[in-house]
Structure formats: C-alpha cells, structure tokens
C-alpha cells in the first residue's frame, strides 16, 4: 500500500494517542520511506544556460490577479495540512476544515445515476449535448420543490455544475464597473471573484479589506445581521443564509429589511441558499418567500451539501423574469447568454441524480443525511460549550463558529493542528470580522467527529 493511502486511512473513535505518532493501522509497517527523507528534489539539467534563462511571452499578466492576497483560503489549508503530514507522517489527521461531505450518497440517488450511465451505452438511451439551462424535467422539479407558490417558474431555473461556478458566471454578467457588498465574514468566493473581475481597488493591510468593497459586519453583537442603516449603497449585495461560516440564519423580518434596502437603493441581491435545507422550521429557506424579492434578487443553490454532490457537481440559479437592469433589460437574458457561451450544461448523469434527489424517496434520504450532519454539529457545540467557549452556529447550518478572544485565528488553527492533528478553518480567512474565531465543520464520519472532540477536550480542559 502506498504512503498516501496510509495517510488517508479513516480512523475510529477508539484511537488512543493524538499527540504522538500512531500505530493505529498495522499496514503502515509496509511503508519503507522514513520521514527524514522527505525534502526538496533537485533537478539537474544538461547545461547551466537552460537553468539561468526562461522564455517569456509578451503577454501581460491580468493586473487584478496581483491584488489577490496569498492563495485561495481552502487550498491554503490543504497545503498546510500536507505540510503537517510531512512533519508527522503517521499522524491520524482529522479534517473538520474544508466543508466537504463525507457520507455516501443515498442509493436511491446513485441507482438513478447508474441507470442513466448504462443507458448511454445504448442507441436508445444515448444523449449528447443537452440544453445549457438544464433538462426540462429537472428544472421543473427544482421549481416545484423549492419554489412552490413563490412565483418562480421552470424557465427561471438554470441548472449548473454548482453554486460556486454560478457565482463567478454572475460576476461576468455584472462586469467590472459595479460595486459590491459582502457579509463580513463571508464565503471567500464573493470577494475573490470581485477582485478578479476588477470591481475593487487594492488590498489594505491595515484593515484587511479591499478598497471598493462594502463589508457588512456580522458579529455576535448584532446577531450576525448587518446594521443596514450604516451600509453604503452598492450595486450588488452578496448574502448567504444560513451563513457560511458563522452558521447564522436570517429571520423573515431581517430578510424583509434586506429586500427593502435593496429596493430603496436599486440594488441586486445575490442570495446564496446552499444550506437552506439545514434551516429550522419557521425560518425562510428562499429569498423569494419575501414579498418583492423577485424584483431585486437572484438565488443560487446546490445539491452538494444535501446529497453529497461535492464531487458529482450539480446546482442551480433562479433568475426571475421580473429582475431588470436599469435600462429595463432582463437580467435572466444576459445570464442565459453567459451560460450558453461559457457552459455546455451539467452532466446528464448528474442531472439524473438531481431528479432522483427530488423524488419522495430522494427527499427523505437527503433529510436523513442532513440530520446526520446536524447531529455532528450538536456534538461539536456541546464540546466547546463544556470547555467554556462562546459558540455560535450549528443549529441551522453544518458549521460551528467558536470564539477565541484576543487571539489570531491562524495561530489557533496552527495550535489545534499541531497539538491535536485536527484541521479547522481560521475565521480571518472569511474576512476581518472573522478574526479571533475558528470554523469547525460538521462534515465528518461520526467516529472522527467524536475523536476530534475528545482531542479538543484534552487540549483545552
């Protein structure tokens, strides 16, 4: 077995040591390469001239790319995790950092994907390019399942390869000359895509913000909902509820305020509802539950965290016909043009899985998966509460937001990784208001979550 395979072997809650190298899997004895031999491989060329010179084109680099700070947050976490494994090659590393699902996709869903896949090998069942906007049956099922009686119709739905991809496509629709507002803290894609598009100025190290972005502070003090009276007018407002990373969910009254704020300012809300099915009963699960929202909002969502489709890739964006630019042109028509130019449609196999997700059996199975992850959040919340930390989130989202007062988020991240071999996410990676917090993901096997919480208790008791 390869070294990589051994390092990725899942662990159980019975693992005993977490501060030292482990013999939890006897198969590690097959690894013959000692840790001290990991290092930098030096490449030798035939002559010195090639090593000293490199051909360069005359094409200038996109200046907006130079504004980005370091790497994108989650690849940076993966890089640090990999470096940690080089330092501790036998460590039982548990990842509660990147929000990647871990539980198997329900069989009722994979069976439909298998059937569609097998059909592709027959003359009768083969299909090539499909509609860029998605297959008619899936668009209709999304509209009737998530937007029943909300005025969102089948042709308002654009099926995609995930909400993250659609967020960037929407940025192409908006262009470089718009202003944007984001929750602070928030999912990094909103800010980074804006920077890449040229919507911002330079990064200001003193306050850890980009010029030209309106950061809407969301903290425990304001219930993680911004004081809109102090928010400047922008063209686009990115808003996620239930929120990643804080786990907070906006109430109906708060979303009513947000819609009114957008209408008063002539703004467009890009509403990220990727975690809507985690919201408790009584909380809005779509921005379109709010009267008037269809005139000011777009909603993007995904099957990733409901059905375990993080690798399958399937999502959607709802763009109402009533949403118009200042010249009266429908936003949906421009989005359709971008989709048809940049995208050939979601995989037909993935769409078969999406349709199965929305069957009665599929919905039941998704709720069971979501229930499992919500039980994980309960375990994590109870652990940090018992240790005396102020803990937020966890009830309406698969994320727990833990406060470490007067400490650097990256320092806490490093401390936890070094001393417990558990990967979390530093709160400052989501914006300046995230400093002093870490995000702990509930996406993990139950045994791993229990083991991680055991280690947290040993570290912070």
pLDDT in 10s for each residue of the chain, 461 residues: 444 444 444 433 333 333 334 333 433 344 444 444 444 444 444 555 555 789 999 999 999 999 997 667 888 898 999 999 999 999 999 999 988 999 999 999 999 999 999 999 999 999 999 999 999 999 999 999 999 999 999 999 999 999 999 999 999 999 999 999 999 999 999 999 999 999 999 999 999 999 999 999 999 999 999 999 999 999 999 999 999 999 999 999 999 999 999 999 999 999 999 999 999 989 999 999 999 999 999 999 999 999 999 999 999 999 999 999 999 999 999 999 999 999 999 999 999 999 999 999 999 999 999 999 999 999 999 999 999 999 999 999 999 999 999 999 999 999 999 999 999 999 999 999 999 999 999 999 999 999 999 999 999 99
Q: Is residue 298 situated within a structural domain?
A: yes
Residue 116 sits in the same domain as residue 93: no
Residue 183 sits in the same domain as residue 153: yes
Residue 204 sits in the same domain as residue 326: yes
Residue 303 sits in the same domain as residue 419: no
Residue 388 falls in which region: left (phi positive, over 0), alpha (psi -120 to 50) or beta: left
**The total number of residues written for the chain in this structure:** 461
pLDDT at 108: 98
Q: How many CB atoms lie within 10 A of CB 169?
A: 19
Q: Is 114 exposed, middle or buried (0-12, 13-18, 19+ CB in 10 A)?
A: middle
- The last residue of one of the domains, among 342, 357, 372, is 357
pLDDT at 72: 73
Residue 340 sits in the same domain as residue 394: no
Residue 372 is part of a domain; what is its CATH number? 3.90.1150.10
Q: Is residue 38 situated within a structural domain?
A: no
Residue 367 sits in the same domain as residue 353: no
Residue 301 sits in the same domain as residue 266: yes
Residue 353 sits in the same domain as residue 368: no
pLDDT at 7: 40
Cα–Cα distance measured from residue 317 to residue 300, given in angstroms and rounded to the nearest whole number? 4
Residue 376 sits in the same domain as residue 247: no
- The last residue of one of the domains, among 326, 357, 388, is 357
Q: Is residue 55 situated within a structural domain?
A: no
Residue 111 sits in the same domain as residue 254: yes
Q: Is residue 26 situated within a structural domain?
A: no
Q: Is residue 148 situated within a structural domain?
A: yes
Residue 221 sits in the same domain as residue 284: yes
Q: Is residue 296 situated within a structural domain?
A: yes
Residue 183, helix vs strand vs coil: strand
pTM: 0.87
Q: Is residue 66 situated within a structural domain?
A: no
- The last residue of one of the domains, among 357, 386, 408, is 357
pLDDT at 393: 97
Q: Is residue 389 situated within a structural domain?
A: yes
CB of 390 within 8 A of CB of 403? yes
Residue-number span of the structural domain to which 434 is assigned: 71-100+363-460
Closest CA relative to residue 242, chosen from 280, 192, 197, 270? 280
Closest CA relative to residue 431, chosen from 171, 209, 271, 231? 209
Cα–Cα distance measured from residue 93 to residue 8, given in angstroms and rounded to the nearest whole number? 8
Where do we find the tokens 């769409």? 351
CB of 430 within 8 A of CB of 410? no
Residue 301 is part of a domain; what is its CATH number? 3.40.640.10
Cα–Cα distance measured from residue 459 to residue 281, given in angstroms and rounded to the nearest whole number? 36
Task: State the total domains in the chain.
Answer: 2
Residue 134 sits in the same domain as residue 210: yes
């Amino acid at each position: 077995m390869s070294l990589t395979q051994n390092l990725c072997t899942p662990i159980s809650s019975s693992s005993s040591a977490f501060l030292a190298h482990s013999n939890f899997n006897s198969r590690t004895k097959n690894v013959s390469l000692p840790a001290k031999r990991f290092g930098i491989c030096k490449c030798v060329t035939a002559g010195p001239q090639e090593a000293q010179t490199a051909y360069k084109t005359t094409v200038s680099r996109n200046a907006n790319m130079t504004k980005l700070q370091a790497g994108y947050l989650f690849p940076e976490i993966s890089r640090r995790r990999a470096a940690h494994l080089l330092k501790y090659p036998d460590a039982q590393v548990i990842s509660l950092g990147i929000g990647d699902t871990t539980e198997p996709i329900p069989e009722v869903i994979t069976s439909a994907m298998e059937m569609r896949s097998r059909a592709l090998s027959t003359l009768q069942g083969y299909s090539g390019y499909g509609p860029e906007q998605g297959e008619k049956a899936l668009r209709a099922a999304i509209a009737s399942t998530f937007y029943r009686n909300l005025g969102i119709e089948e042709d308002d739905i654009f099926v995609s390869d995930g909400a993250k991809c659609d967020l960037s496509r929407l940025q192409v629709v908006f262009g470089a000359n718009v202003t944007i507002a984001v929750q602070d803290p928030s999912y990094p894609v909103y800010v980074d895509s804006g920077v890449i598009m040229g919507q911002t100025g330079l990064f200001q190290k003193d306050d850890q913000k980009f010029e030209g972005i309106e950061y809407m502070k969301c903290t425990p003090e304001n219930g993680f909902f911004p004081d809109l009276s102090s928010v400047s007018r922008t063209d686009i407002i990115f808003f996620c509820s239930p929120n990643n990373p804080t786990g907070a969910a906006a109430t109906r009254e708060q979303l009513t305020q947000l819609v009114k704020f957008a209408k008063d300012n002539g703004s467009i809300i890009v509403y990220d509802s990727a975690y809507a099915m985690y919201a408790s009963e009584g909380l809005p699960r779509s921005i379109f539950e709010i009267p008037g929202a269809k005139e000011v909002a777009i909603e993007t969502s995904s099957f990733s965290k409901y059905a375990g489709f993080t690798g399958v890739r399937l999502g959607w964006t709802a763009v109402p016909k009533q949403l118009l630019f200042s010249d009266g042109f429908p936003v949906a028509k421009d989005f359709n043009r971008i989709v048809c130019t940049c995208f050939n449609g979601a995989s037909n196999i993935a769409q078969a899985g999406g349709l199965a997700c929305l069957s009665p059996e599929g919905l039941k199975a998704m709720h069971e998966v979501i229930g499992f992850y919500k039980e994980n959040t309960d375990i994590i919340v109870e652990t940090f509460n018992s240790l005396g930390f102020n803990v937020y989130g966890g009830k309406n989202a698969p994320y727990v937001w833990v406060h470490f007062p007067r400490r650097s988020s990256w320092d806490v991240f490093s401390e936890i990784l070094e001393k417990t071999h558990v990967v979390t996410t530093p709160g400052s990676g989501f914006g300046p208001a995230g400093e002093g917090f870490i995000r702990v993901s509930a996406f993990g096997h139950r045994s791993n979550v229990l083991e991680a919480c055991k280690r947290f208790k040993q570290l912070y008791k």
